[in-house]
Structure formats: structure tokens, C-alpha cells
Chain A
């Protein structure tokens, strides 16, 4: 059992950390306040080869593994949850499925720009009427044999990056009578006729990461935009989320780490009753508890990533890591706010931002309730 990342992994983590400290931390609150997707940061991340870490070199990626990707996602989360979320959605949801299920031609055309960082990826499963229960999906793709095209109609809700994306992988019903086996995946270009960004949501946090409602109105897709086979959409979704949940777990660990560091530093400096507040048992115990939660969540995350890299089944490990890490992130961030007292409640200090950002981790890519459902099933209950 190996608990320390390799020298190469550490070097990559440390370099990304250095980049995050100098280039992202100083603007992290500002981009939140301005609700601005920081294109320049993503361009710089592309120059560093961060945008295609777990994608094969054959398609312009780095050829790294899931653990490397998790380490880097954690570093992004440690300074900006929003950048981390857009990054994780781009990689796990936008790019990886094309690598896993695409044809050579699709990988050249759609994966390469994402892996090289020339474009941003997105993935659209959720709908206004269908969240946790994807079987209620109403978006349809009807095949038109005369034109050899699919005609896409429907609305997708809460789609990360949709308004800045090069491609959106859209789940749609191709066979209404086949239930889960009637769902297929399509590569949609936001420039396609009939694609509309209806809303960019105002959110409790993560506002530098755009979350969009998008609509398709008779959007015509050439047949070569079908990803995999007709009816593969649900199976693909399950395997995509197995990987994606590891990145949300890693992002959560990063948020928790950022909040913990802010609290620990403050507690060592802030004096009340004549001594640093860290010397009061109540505050010290809080910080020790934060550390304990983070360490646990990180171990579960690295375990899930390591299993993924070994090609072992990860449904259980990634659901557990995501469940634990997202809860840890919210609790640690909340306690960080508490540690800073009134200052923690102001936007001049980072903990409130981690607190707002952390809450989503218990909702996106399957709510915590759904992780319990998944885990219960995995445990044979």
C-alpha cells in the first residue's frame, strides 16, 4: 500500500500549487463577485498542460492518471471552487467520455481541442423535470433517415460551462419505449442552429463557474455526432459519473484544505483574553477535527483514484469518497467561518466562499442522498 504520491505526482502537484497561489488566489474572490468565468486562467492552465491531464497523449492530452488529475483538482479547489468545478466538468464529463466512447474521427475533432485546452467541455444530463431520476428525461433525438440526421428537442438544466463550451455531450431519448436503454449521447456544438443558452443562474457560490439552462429547438445533428451506439447513453453515464465523482471528491478535499488553512492561520494570530484563540480548547479541537476530516476524505479520494487507475471497479469507492469529502468540505468550511468569528462572515476572508462553494459538492453529480442509494445497492441492501 502506497500512501505517498510518486515524485512525479508531487512535482506536478507542487507546480500547480505554485501557479494557484500566484495566479488564482489573488483573483479568487473578485471573479466570484463579478460572476466572471476567467478565460485567461484557463488559457494559462492550457499552457501548463493541465486541461488534458487524464487524456491520452495520442489526442493531445498529458497521458496522466486519475490520481494525478485528482491531485491537481484538489489544488484548484484549495484556491477557487468555481475554477475547480469548471475544470472538473470539462475533464471528467466533457472530455473523458469522448475518449472512452468516441470514434477515432470524433476524438480528433472533439477531444483534441479539449485535451489541448483550446476549448472547454460540458455535459448535459439534468433537466428541469429530471434530476436524481434521469429516467424522467424528456429531451428527444429523433432520427431522420432521409437526411441521416438526428433532430434534438428539449431543455437541459444546470449545465456547467455550457455558455463557454466548445462541445456539450447531451443525453437524449432515442427510443421512448426502452427506458434506460433508450437513452443516447450526442456531441453538440453550441454553434449549431437551434442551440440556445436560456439562463445563466445566479448561485449561492461558484459564480465564476457558469451554470446554464440550455434549450434545443429542432437542432439537427449529423449522424456522426452520436457518441457510441444508440441506447448506450445510460451505461456511459454510470461509468462517467464513477470517474467524475472522484474529481468532485478531490475538489471537496481542496475546498476543505483551503478553509482549514485559513482557519488555522487566523487562530494562531487572533488574540482574545490575552492569548491566541488557537490556545482555547474549543478552537484547537475544531482545527484538529478539520484536519481529521480532511485526512480521511483525502485517503478515500486517493484510494478511489488508485483503484480507477488499476482498472478495478470504482462505483463504491468513488461514491464513498464523494459522500465523505463533500460532507467534510461543508463542515470544515462552516467551522472555518466560525473560527474567524465576525470576520469569517465577511467577504474579505475566504472561509465564507469555501462554505458557499462546498454546499454544491453534496448536490452535483448525484446528491448525498443518491450516494447513499448507490452505496446501499453496492453493499447488497
Chain B
């Protein structure tokens, strides 16, 4: 089967950063592969190693700069990558639906049986792309997956989903399916140096909207960023000091004040 993994390059801000217009200054950002996408790649590569996946394709929406990050997916074992970018995305804030427009077209082209997606992106944190894509392409889906056992013959993914309050749901999802991957699914490997060297020669297909049969109008975003600011934080943290007895006493007092165990 073919596995498609959606990956995103995310910018992480330094402790001190400047805001430029509606974004954090790029000089204060370190770009890296989105953490949850790393779990998704690891899951896909494990499926390939188990002989279940024949091909692992990584897809991203991102400018040329993102290639370095996408190459990390290739270094860890993805076979090839598709990078979609278009002038139409320049300077805009793509909403979930415009991303899904793109991924839908890529799915049409690639015809994967399984799509793995991070549960969320560390920067925008919509947590919606994978599920919205499933809805659009008519695949079954499971969100917040932290355990996966794929029975390819039966065409079923047995998954654990993390729900609120420490509850887990065990469920079966029929293939083709979209799974959004949560922390805990696996421990991502370090790319081996040989993998990194081989990744330099793997294909990253630069694709624009026209290549996908889309127009800028198709992917128009309903969201615009109007302002970026640091929220006022009024923290009133109290540092409890003293020996264990005193500290425990004060802690109990605070908890009681706040209504715990009343």
C-alpha cells in the first residue's frame, strides 16, 4: 500500500523575539519539522520496514526553504516528497480548507490507502487539517491516535485514540483512512547519516497549483491575520518556600482557598 504523510515546517520562536507586522521576525525563528509529523513519518517508515507499506510519500505546503525540513523526512526513510507552493500562498494565511484543497488534489494524484498526519501543527495549532481532509476525500478517520496496529489483509487499522481525562478509545478504522497522530505513538528515530546522504538524491517534486489542476481562487483563504501581539500576562505565581512541612502546609492552604477538597 502507499502511505501519504502530510508534513509541515514550523517556526519556533526564541525566548526573546520581535514582531514584524503580523508575524514573528524570521530572524527570531528556528525552522524545524513539526513534532507530530515526526511521529507520523516514523509510523509510516515502520510500516515500510514491516513490509506493509510499499511506498511512503511525504507532502508539504511550503516555500523552497521548507525543502531542508522535508528532506529530514526523506532521510528518515520516506521514499520521495511533494512540495506544493504557489505565488498565491505568498503573504497569505492559509486556512484549513485551503490546505485541504491542496491535499485533496494530491490524494487524487497519489491515491494512497493511508494518510498519516500530525494531530496538530506546533505553530498554528488548528488541529484540523487531517480530519478535514478525511471528510473531504471520503476516507474513514481516527484522530489523536497513539497506538496503531495495521492489518493490511483485512484492510483495517486497529487504533487507540487518546480522549480527554486519560481515557483511551480502542477502535477499528477501515482503509482507506486518515489517521492523525499523537505523541506516544512511537519514538522517532534519528536520521542516520547514510539516510541523510541518500536523501540529498531523493526527489522533492516542486508542484504549483496549476500542476494540481487548481487555481488561486480554489485555495482562497477565508482567514486573514489582522494583528500579532504578545498578550499581557498577569501572572501571580507564588513561590512556596521553606522546608517540606511548611511548604506542604502552605500548599494545602492555597488549595483549600481555591476550593479544592472543600
Residues of A within 8 A of B (CB): 7-8, 10-12, 15-16, 18-19, 47-50, 53, 62-64
Contact = CB atoms under 8 A, between A and B. Distances in A.
A172 B236 CA distance: 72
B192 interface: yes
Interface in B162-214: 190-194, 196-197, 199-200
A51 B22 CA distance: 46
A18 B192 contact: no
Contact of B194 (A10, A18, A49): A49
Interface residues of B, number: 13
Interface stretch (B68-76, B150-158, B222-230, B246-254): B68-76
A49 B190 contact: no
A19 B196 CA distance: 14
A19 B193 contact: no
Which secondary structure dominates where chain A touches chain B?
Answer: helix
Contacts of B71: 7, 11
B194 A62 contact: yes
A49 B196 CA distance: 10
Contacts of B75: 11, 15
Contacts, number: 40
Interface in B30-84: 68, 71-72, 75
Given A11-B75, A11-B196, A11-B199, 20 more contacts: A8-B196, A8-B200, A10-B68, A11-B68, A11-B72, A11-B191, A12-B197, A15-B191, A15-B196, A16-B193, A18-B190, A19-B190, A47-B192, A48-B190, A48-B192, A48-B193, A53-B193, A62-B197, A64-B193, A64-B197
12 contacts: A7-B200, A8-B197, A10-B68, A11-B75, A11-B196, A12-B196, A12-B197, A15-B75, A16-B193, A62-B193, A62-B197, A63-B197
A264 to B, nearest CB: 13
A7 B197 CA distance: 10
B199 to A, nearest CB: 8
A330 to B, nearest CB: 30
Contacts of A18: 190
A206 B8 CA distance: 41
B83 to A, nearest CB: 15
B190 A15 contact: yes
Nearest to A23: B190
Interface centre among B68, B190, B193, B199 (most CB of A within 10 A): B193
Contacts of B193: 12, 15-16, 48-50, 53, 62, 64
